[in-house]
Amino acid sequence: MEPKLHLSDYDFELPQELIAQQPLLNRDESRLMVIDRKTGLLQHRIFKEIPDYFGPEDVLVLNDTRVIPARAWAHPESQPDKQVEFLFVRELKPALWEVLCRPAKRVQPGEVFLFEKELKGLVREKGPLGHRVLEFNTEKVKEKLQEIGTPPLPPYIKRKKDDPRLKNLDRERYQTVFARKEGSIAAPTAGLHFTPATLEEIRKKGTTICYVTLNVGEATFQPVRVERVTEHKMLPEYFYLPEETAEILNQARAEGRKITAVGTTVVRTLESAFAQDQVRGGQGATTLFIYPGYTFKVVNRLLTNFHLPRSTLLMLVSAFAGYDLIRNAYQVAVKEKYRFFSYGDCMLIL
């Protein structure tokens, strides 16, 4: 069968009420749909039961990136009443940042913007689609963001600017319990369901747990604007794969053991780091776009959330499990009222 390579193939109707607006009280009480690729069987479980699917032969790979409070507001020095929203995308070098801004028409080269806590940014460059480069009056921009920034929640999660949840509930819950290395502008959401207790139970099963770091950037939520999927170009995202993790994965592959990726970010990291029949440790950048027709080299199983229509994430999952199986799983998820997207439920693909 020819792979599905048109954007319209990845559209589906999703009732608004199924888009999760806040996390559940307990992380591990999310629903878990388990999909067997061989049989096509779907099971409905609760996430805290996920240790049932792990044992001594398994390797579980987590993304330990930490989300920075990357959203902040400022006004032009000359217009105190004109607020602009900024998303701090990436530090280019000390004091110089690539940002996204809204409304972008208010942010022009040469203008100075004033943030809280005496943070000041000069617009150095204008890029496409709301991108700008700002030079700040301090190299300690990340430290300032810890004081003035809010979690960079996706636009489908509705919050008011002065909602206290921005700095309280979301600061804690839009972050995995194993987040260590600061640098992401979105959470690796498949990892949000884990608790320390769940991870400990999986360890007690004898499963090896290891880590990679992929700093989630724009590529993860970059919209596809072409009808022919193969024409889409991914923006770069930067990763680090420790040598220890590479050794664990290469040994597991040699022994035929199962490697479970937690989230699409881990999948893209592992597949990008594979060369000459080995997973290679070190730093790198990936523009890997996975869609049906791709041959997976490292990952055997995948834990992932339910993704947006027409997204590269849905295409990756369809490549992994098969287009028809995922199409059916999503129809079942809608019918059974699973919660979708970042704060929603998840699926384990065996």
Q: How many domains does the chain have?
A: 2
131 located within any domain: yes
**For residue range 151-178, what is the model confidence (pLDDT) as tens digits?**
999 999 998 766 776 668 899 999 999 9
Q: DSSP letter string over 21-84?
A: -S--SSGGGSEEEEE-TTT--EEEEEGGGGGGG--TTEEEEEE-EEE---EEEEEETT-TT--E
Out of 87, 114, 149, pick the residue that ends a domain.
Answer: 149
276 located within any domain: yes
Out of 117, 149, 181, pick the residue that ends a domain.
Answer: 149
| Distance from C-alpha of 5 to C-alpha of 187, rounded to nearest angstrom | 27
**For residue range 2-53, what is the model confidence (pLDDT) as tens digits?**
889 999 999 999 999 999 999 999 999 999 999 999 999 999 999 999 999 9
Q: Residue type at 183?
A: G
Question: Do 62 and 202 belong to one domain?
Answer: yes
pLDDT score recorded for residue 166: 63
Report the Cα–Cα distance between both ends of the chain, in Å, rounded: 22
| Distance from C-alpha of 86 to C-alpha of 224, rounded to nearest angstrom | 22
14 located within any domain: yes
pLDDT score recorded for residue 37: 97
214 located within any domain: yes
Question: Do 11 and 61 belong to one domain?
Answer: yes
Q: Which positions ≥6 away from 2 have C-beta within 8 Å?
A: none
Question: Do 209 and 339 belong to one domain?
Answer: yes
Question: Do 93 and 145 belong to one domain?
Answer: yes
**Low-confidence residues in the chain, pLDDT < 70:** 161-162, 165-167
| Tokens describing residue 226 | 């072409």
Question: Do 62 and 83 belong to one domain?
Answer: no
Question: Do 85 and 50 belong to one domain?
Answer: no
Question: Do 219 and 294 belong to one domain?
Answer: yes
Comparing CA positions, the residue from 210, 155, 212, 159 lying closest to residue 183 is 212
155 located within any domain: no
pLDDT score recorded for residue 292: 97
Question: Do 177 and 112 belong to one domain?
Answer: no
Query: In this structure, are residues 135 and 121 in contact, taking their beta carbons and an 8 Å threshold?
Result: yes
Question: Do 98 and 24 belong to one domain?
Answer: no
118 located within any domain: yes
Question: Do 92 and 61 belong to one domain?
Answer: no
Residue 114: CATH number of its domain: 2.40.10.240
Domain that holds residue 88: 71-149
Q: Are strands 96-102 and 112-114 parallel, antiparallel or unpaired?
A: unpaired
pLDDT score recorded for residue 220: 84
